[in-house]
């Protein structure tokens, strides 16, 4: 499957990139980077760091939007550390200049494709919305968007109403959801059910294998955050689950729903509002396949087998 990754690395984004690169089902043709967990320049450098860890500097990296469509940028250093990767990764050996027009890269990559392309969106949807707005017909060249974002029947993780990726640019998310592209939405309803155990991360952190040690050290850092904020000994595999669903949709239980994004509310900006009752206009037909539950053990087995060659770890 030919895929593009749009991401804001980020600890769980880094693990998601590693999973995508380690999965023979996916042919990763490029990584576009968006503002999000940290500023876009740091996110772009982080993408290069992860590719170096994976030995895959052949994958193009393209910097994109530094801010949402109309709002100030928001970041999440409290979760991911000041640099987005807990300060654990050295700079890449040859941090060569990278292209800086993600929306144009997405459009060009779709134009050049001789086969359907799936876009896996792991951060705020600014780059994706910009590509849709700037390039007529781009939606027709997308096979599907698989997007990690939203909170449908549970509380958000940045406000009580909203999940971070959607809250960071609700206008962009609203544009993407109304664009007519088949969308699989992987919200907190599913991702908060896929918890990587803190003890497993601690074991991996002592490994001599670079990928194992990196995932373990990243996991230990973010597990400390989860223990403080959620009382959970481990961390949610938000973005890796979106990659997992791209590989194997049966990992999650889904429902076809009409999903809208709140863009005007003072307390509810970024809320993902889903119609479970198929109410007539103004809602309309379902516009997203929404993951509402996850087979967590099967997904974590997939992740560990791909990244570490074994399960359990």
pLDDT tens-digit map of 274-310: 999 988 776 778 999 999 999 999 999 999 999 999 9
- The residue behind tokens 């967590």 is 296
> pLDDT value at position 97?
55
Side-chain-side CA neighbours of residue 121 (13 Å) = 34
Catalytic residues: 238
Which neighbouring-strand residues pair with 61?
31
Q: What is the CATH number of domain 2-308?
A: 3.90.245.10
245-279 burial code (b ≥16 CB/10 A, e <16): bbbeeebbebeebbbbbbbeeeebbbbbebbeeee
> pLDDT value at position 94?
67
> pLDDT value at position 64?
97
Rounded to two decimals, the pTM is 0.97
The alpha carbon of 122 is separated from its chain's Cα centroid by a whole number of angstroms, namely: 2
pLDDT tens for each residue of 253-283: 999 999 999 999 999 999 999 999 988 776 7
> pLDDT value at position 6?
98
> Which segments in the chain show pLDDT lower than 50?
none
> pLDDT value at position 210?
97
> pLDDT value at position 279?
87
> pLDDT value at position 114?
81
> pLDDT value at position 123?
98
């Amino acid at each position: 499957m030919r895929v593009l990754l749009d991401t804001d690395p980020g600890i769980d984004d880094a693990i998601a990139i590693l999973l995508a690169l380690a999965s023979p089902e996916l042919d990763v043709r490029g990584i576009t980077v968006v503002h999000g967990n940290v500023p876009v320049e740091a996110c772009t450098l982080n993408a290069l760091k992860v590719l170096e860890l994976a030995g895959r500097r052949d994958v193009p990296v393209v910097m994109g939007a530094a801010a949402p469509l109309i709002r100030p940028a928001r970041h999440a250093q409290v979760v991911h550390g000041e640099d987005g990767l807990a300060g654990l990764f050295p700079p890449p050996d040859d941090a060569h200049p990278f292209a800086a027009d993600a929306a144009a890269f997405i459009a060009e990559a779709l134009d050049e494709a001789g086969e359907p392309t799936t876009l896996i969106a792991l951060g705020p949807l600014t780059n994706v919305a910009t590509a849709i707005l700037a390039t007529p017909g781009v939606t027709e060249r997308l096979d599907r968007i698989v997007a990690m974002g939203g909170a449908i029947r549970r509380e958000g993780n940045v406000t009580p109403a909203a999940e971070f990726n959607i809250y960071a640019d609700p206008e962009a998310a609203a544009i993407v959801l109304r664009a007519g592209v088949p969308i699989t939405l992987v919200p907190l309803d599913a991702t908060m059910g896929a918890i990587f155990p803190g003890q497993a991360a601690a074991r991996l952190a002592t490994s001599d294998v670079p990928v194992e040690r990196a995932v373990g050290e990243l996991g230990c850092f973010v597990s400390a955050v989860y223990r403080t904020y959620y009382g959970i000994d481990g961390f949610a595999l938000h973005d890796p689950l979106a990659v997992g669903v791209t590989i194997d949709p049966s990992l999650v239980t889904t429902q076809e729903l009409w999903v809208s994004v709140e863009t005007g509310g003072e307390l509810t900006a970024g809320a993902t509002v889903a119609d479970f009752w198929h109410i007539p206009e103004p809602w309309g037909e379902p516009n997203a396949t929404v993951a509402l539950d996850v087979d967590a053990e099967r997904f974590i087995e997939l992740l560990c087998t791909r990244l570490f060659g074994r399960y359990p770890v």
